[in-house]
Structure 1
């Protein structure tokens, strides 16, 4: 028996570090690390020790013979296909089981006699927390965690679909650092509004910006400013109870067809949630208002528009495989362009396009509202339409161009899912073309003591785990600057910074407040048989943070 990595793989390579026979690839020191959909177990080399499964922070590694029971049998083939046609890995050295890891290296730590540095990390999502973890585990640095929202988590809390609860578990790994003795936490503080970048820098040796990519890319077509056209990222935030998204942002009661422009993971998440059984979602932490809207939803069809063909799908193989396993949902490939199905049939095993062979092939008649199919009026389906692009957004419809010429689709909602985009940070340089902060190895150009990590550094690419290697590079640069004397000395103390923040922001949430929010949400969930019920507004979050459990006498 061997193990296989499955859908919720976070790519952070914790499993690689514990594997005794080097059977999980790509590793962080290999060129394709961070560029593949996930990590893969080599079935020919796996010795069935289970170390990887024990270490996996998101429970994504299972014994291959248990995959069928979990409805994930396709992942054994995906793992094996990664190694087909590749040169054999070097044989294990140093014994029949354990491979040689090489001499230990501590080059990234500060010298023992080096005075502790004080580092601010702006953003508590994966990128920021990987940077904080690196600093806390390998140095004696004091870390200040700052987030503009009154709750921590970033995209782990607000960007992961509610039907992927295992992926959210990596948040537990990060949460253990919230109460670290060398951590100070200030949530609900907006750098650039409440305090300036220069004020932050004046109280710290270094500042690491992990602010992500909060904007979205535009379609550049007429009509995309109409109320019925919204970013898919906004829908994701809506069903995750983001406090800056109104509960009534989306009305699904009169919408039978939703058109999603794009085929990335966010597009697939949106499509999957929109047609999912609300009763199945009721056991997750989906926002109450979203669950209510989905129960009253008229949506029967979600169309995924792809400018290119199946061979260029932007989603990962795990997300595509999951799409074909939705109970009561038909997966259809529109056969308006013969190139699409030809590419699916020609795809090699392991290619994403090959996963669409289980879909139905149908020439879809688009004008008007969706036609009831064999499943009757309650039928739900997801339709891929390749080699197609939106030409114009109209009230209640979208005009689409394709191989057969322009067609009109009735659509009560059009979602833009063509990518995120970073936004400028006040006081920092910004590259408008890439939507990133210019840097060298994470060091912000012309900004001594300033660093970036995550999507604001490299652009909106890579999943949760990709931020681990990204953070390692930035922290390495920061530590080299510290040893080289390149960090400016702060003029203000940690206590002075705390007084400044509380003077500017009257409702700051600290680690104790965050723990109180956690208790409140879990208590709400327990009352309704759910893991948690999120508080969906800033006042609710702040009020919960202040409702602290009294200290024992």
Structure 2
């Protein structure tokens, strides 16, 4: 009998695990996703103006259409069935649930209205149903984005791009309207460390010099003449190339209505304001033996919106060991317990690019087949898909299968403005209502 595997989460790490398992043959894979829509961060996290990056879903679509794979959207572990029930139904369960929670800043005032974590902010402009009602306070001339990585660059870029520049994106309609109407004049990118330590990739950093209505501002004195010789060769080369781009951005001063200002060696100390964000207090820093050390020089920066983009954490799953210090599921090389595994950010933390998850999928597939293959081949397999369908039907749980997702996808594409790839549904109820119109009985 085939090896039955449930993969919880249908983002890149889940699809890479499914692809790796399919290569071994004789397997039945069920992708279980709490949203009706698949593809995880490719849909809800990749910047809406980076459509080329989203083309990876074509490979995922081939996996989803494989006869050995079934999709169960709109099914949530902890709401519709428990982890114990799921593990009782499948030979193996692979958790691919990502790291959807923002890391806290850990400074006074971060609870004030006007501090919007990057997970929520990016989810809002990407039309993620969890964040459709975020409504960030954009009636301000200055926003501060805290972080020296690509997510920080994405947020800053989307905030200052013109509607014409975003016309070929799949930004949520409500978000685009709010950003376009905002009186923003400056976005400050604030990072504790320097440009050598920043985690920008070349493509994203170069884009900052191509903005139609925004110039880049940064202090050339913060750019070292060269990356430290002691860095590993690969990191040193990347740092040198980033420094070269930053020098070019610093030299290309232009008169434009908006600007993005890079402020390196700046540590947030406190969010200022009584009832809402009115500013950010930050401290000048320096590096000593690789450590960030405050100099005692404090500065107050008036602003109405602060977006921390300093990393993400996984959420606890009842019954699954959790490493609170690292904000991820407790595991050893992706193995949590016999029959229970994890891949992607919930395994190793939020690092790497989309393709970085492939190695996790390969390792999980190899471990599952080594540990469970002989037992299942001997006739000890669990109910798998038929068991899940019986349980969900008995509880009146409505799931969205892959053809139903394709109907949602088709409707979004049909509703797109000229030049845009789609107009996203931002409400689960609206997605289900569409399916009701097409098929009153649903799944």
Residue of structure 1 aligned with 2:223, choices 338, 341, 344: 341
* Alpha-carbon separation, structure 1, partners of 2:342 and 2:311: 20
- 1:315 is displaced (CA, Å) by 1.8
* Alpha-carbon separation, structure 1, partners of 2:237 and 2:23: 43
Residue of structure 2 aligned with 1:326, choices 187, 197, 211: 211
1:439 aligns with 2:325: no
* Alpha-carbon separation, structure 1, partners of 2:338 and 2:237: 50
* Alpha-carbon separation, structure 2, partners of 1:442 and 1:545: 37
- Contact 1:228 1:413 survives alignment (8 Å): yes
Q: Which residue of 2 aligns with 1:212?
A: 98
- 1:330 is displaced (CA, Å) by 1.1
TM-score, scaled relative to structure 2: 0.89
Q: Which has the higher contact order (CA 8 A, sep 6+)?
A: 2
- Contact 1:213 1:456 survives alignment (8 Å): yes
* Alpha-carbon separation, structure 1, partners of 2:12 and 2:31: 12
Q: Secondary structure at the match of 2:281?
A: strand
Q: Which residue of 1 aligns with 2:190?
A: 305
1:457 aligns with 2:347: yes
- Contact 2:3 2:376 survives alignment (8 Å): no
Q: Which residue of 1 aligns with 2:399?
A: 508
Unpaired runs of at least 5, structure 2: 229-235, 286-294
Which one has the bigger helix percentage? 2
Is the alpha carbon distance of 1:227 and 1:503 closer, same or farther for their aligned partners in structure 2, counting shifts above 3 Å? farther
Q: Secondary structure at the match of 1:482?
A: helix
Residue of structure 1 aligned with 2:259, choices 354, 371, 381: 381
Q: Which residue of 2 aligns with 1:393?
A: 271
* Alpha-carbon separation, structure 1, partners of 2:382 and 2:367: 22
Q: Which residue of 2 aligns with 1:7?
A: none
* Alpha-carbon separation, structure 2, partners of 1:361 and 1:506: 59
What CA deviation, in whole Å up to 9, does each residue of 1:349-377 have, x standing for no partner?
A: 84322220112279xxxxxxxxxx973xx
- Contact 1:247 1:289 survives alignment (8 Å): no
Q: Secondary structure at the match of 2:129?
A: coil
- 1:528 is displaced (CA, Å) by 4.5
Is the alpha carbon distance of 1:341 and 1:494 closer, same or farther for their aligned partners in structure 2, counting shifts above 3 Å? closer
* Alpha-carbon separation, structure 1, partners of 2:237 and 2:20: 40
Unpaired runs of at least 5, structure 1: 1-114, 363-372
- 1:493 is displaced (CA, Å) by 4.8
- 1:407 is displaced (CA, Å) by 1.2
- 1:234 is displaced (CA, Å) by 1.2
Is the alpha carbon distance of 1:493 and 1:328 closer, same or farther for their aligned partners in structure 2, counting shifts above 3 Å? closer
Q: Secondary structure at the match of 1:168?
A: helix
Which of structures 1 and 2 has the bigger CA Rg?
A: 1
1:423 aligns with 2:423: no
Q: Which residue of 1 aligns with 2:409?
A: 518
* Alpha-carbon separation, structure 1, partners of 2:327 and 2:283: 29
Q: Which residue of 1 aligns with 2:167?
A: 282
Q: Secondary structure at the match of 1:465?
A: helix
Q: Which residue of 2 aligns with 1:127?
A: 13
- 1:484 is displaced (CA, Å) by 4.8
- 1:440 is displaced (CA, Å) by 2.5
Which one has the bigger strand percentage? 2
* Alpha-carbon separation, structure 2, partners of 1:500 and 1:549: 22
* Alpha-carbon separation, structure 1, partners of 2:2 and 2:227: 59
Once superposed, what is the RMSD of the aligned Cα atoms?
A: 2.3
* Alpha-carbon separation, structure 1, partners of 2:303 and 2:179: 17
Q: Secondary structure at the match of 2:398?
A: coil
Q: Which residue of 2 aligns with 1:3?
A: none
Q: Which residue of 1 aligns with 2:233?
A: none
What CA deviation, in whole Å up to 9, does each residue of 1:173-205 have, x standing for no partner?
A: 101222221122110111122111111111111
Is the alpha carbon distance of 1:493 and 1:333 closer, same or farther for their aligned partners in structure 2, counting shifts above 3 Å? closer
Deviates more, 1:123-132 or 1:352-361: 352-361
Deviates more, 1:474-483 or 1:124-133: 474-483
Q: Which residue of 1 aligns with 2:41?
A: 155
* Alpha-carbon separation, structure 2, partners of 1:498 and 1:510: 11
What CA deviation, in whole Å up to 9, does each residue of 1:468-520 have, x standing for no partner?
A: 11111111111111235399945535223112123335331111111110111
